[in-house]
């Protein structure tokens, strides 16, 4: 089923006094300006599984009572400041899109937001003030993105957070005060990142880290890889053409009792 613009306008007009509107699986490509301007009672809005690429910045300005918004499985590439006028927003799902950049004021006017899912996108950078204005946030899912670093103030204003999932990103290090301001955190997921250590703020709280053994194994493997890489970079360019002046003991420091000829081959590789 695919809605034309006129069909979409008529569909919403018939339901303007409803608390819930379901527009999922309607083949929607574009949200007309003012589509929800006359829906003052709207609390739940489903726009998932469409083909939406762009969201009008003001398309929710007249929905002050919105509590749940689902935009999963669309083709959204970036987010405008469309949630600024949603002070009662309680749930927001934007998974399975193509979002790369979140605007600085994203969520700034959503103090009642409780659940936020941005999984399965292409987010690379989080705004410095991300979640700062969401003191009631209880669940945050950022799985399967391309996040490399978290803002220094990440989660400092989220005292009620219970679940945080950061699986399968490219995070290399966590802020030193990570989770310190989240006394109620019960479940933390960190699998599939590029960590080489856990922050000191998690010491004594290992029970909240789900699949702890797997995360520790990933860290151990990464450290071993880095050590080997450092070994290969260390003095490899100084290996002489004639090894006769070197005792066998020199080569025993390399892993696996590496032989001279093997070492020479390694020295010619580019890392």
Domain residues of the chain, as ranges?
A: 239-267
- Structure tokens that stand for 241 in this block: 């053409």
Query: What gap in Å lies between CA 70 and CA 80, rounded to an integer?
Result: 16
List pLDDT tens digits, range 222-244: 888 887 776 666 555 555 555 55
- Structure tokens that stand for 245 in this block: 């002046």
List pLDDT tens digits, range 73-90: 898 888 878 787 888 888
Tell me, rounded to whole angstroms, the distance of Cα 15 from its chain centroid: 34
pLDDT at 20: 96
Handedness of CA 253, 255, 257, 261 (dihedral sign): negative
DSSP code of 58?
Answer: T
pLDDT at 233: 60
List pLDDT tens digits, range 2-30: 888 999 999 999 999 999 999 999 999 99
pLDDT at 202: 86
Query: What gap in Å lies between CA 162 and CA 200, rounded to an integer?
Result: 20
Give pTM, 2 decimals: 0.77
Mean pLDDT score of the chain: 84
Low-confidence ranges of the chain (pLDDT < 50): 245-254, 256, 270-271
């Amino acid at each position: 089923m695919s809605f034309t613009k006129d069909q979409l306008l008529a569909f919403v007009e018939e339901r303007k006094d409803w608390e819930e509107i379901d527009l999922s699986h309607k083949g929607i490509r574009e949200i007309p300006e003012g589509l929800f301007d006359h829906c003052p009672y709207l609390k739940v809005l489903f726009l998932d599984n469409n083909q939406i690429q762009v969201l009008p910045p003001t398309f929710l300005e007249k929905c002050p009572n919105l509590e749940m918004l689902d935009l999963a499985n669309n083709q959204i590439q970036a987010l405008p400041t469309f949630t600024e006028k949603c002070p009662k927003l309680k749930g927001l799902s934007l998974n399975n899109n193509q979002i790369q950049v979140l605007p600085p004021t994203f969520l700034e006017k959503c103090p009642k937001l409780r659940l936020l899912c941005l999984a399965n996108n292409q987010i690379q950078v989080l705004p410095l003030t991300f979640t700062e204005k969401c003191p009631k946030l209880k669940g945050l899912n950022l799985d399967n993105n391309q996040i490399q670093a978290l803002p220094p103030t990440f989660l400092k204003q989220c005292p009620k957070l219970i679940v945080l999932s950061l699986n399968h990103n490219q995070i290399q290090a966590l802020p030193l005060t990570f989770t310190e301001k989240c006394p109620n955190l019960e479940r933390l997921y960190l699998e599939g990142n590029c960590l080489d250590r856990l922050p000191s703020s998690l010491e004594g709280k290992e029970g909240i880290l789900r699949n702890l053994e797997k995360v520790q194994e990933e860290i151990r493997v990464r450290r071993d890889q880095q050590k080997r890489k450092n070994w290969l970079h260390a003095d490899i360019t100084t290996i002489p053409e004639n090894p006769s002046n070197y005792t066998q003991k020199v080569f025993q420091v390399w892993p696996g009792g590496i032989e001279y000829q093997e070492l020479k081959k390694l020295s010619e590789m580019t890392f």
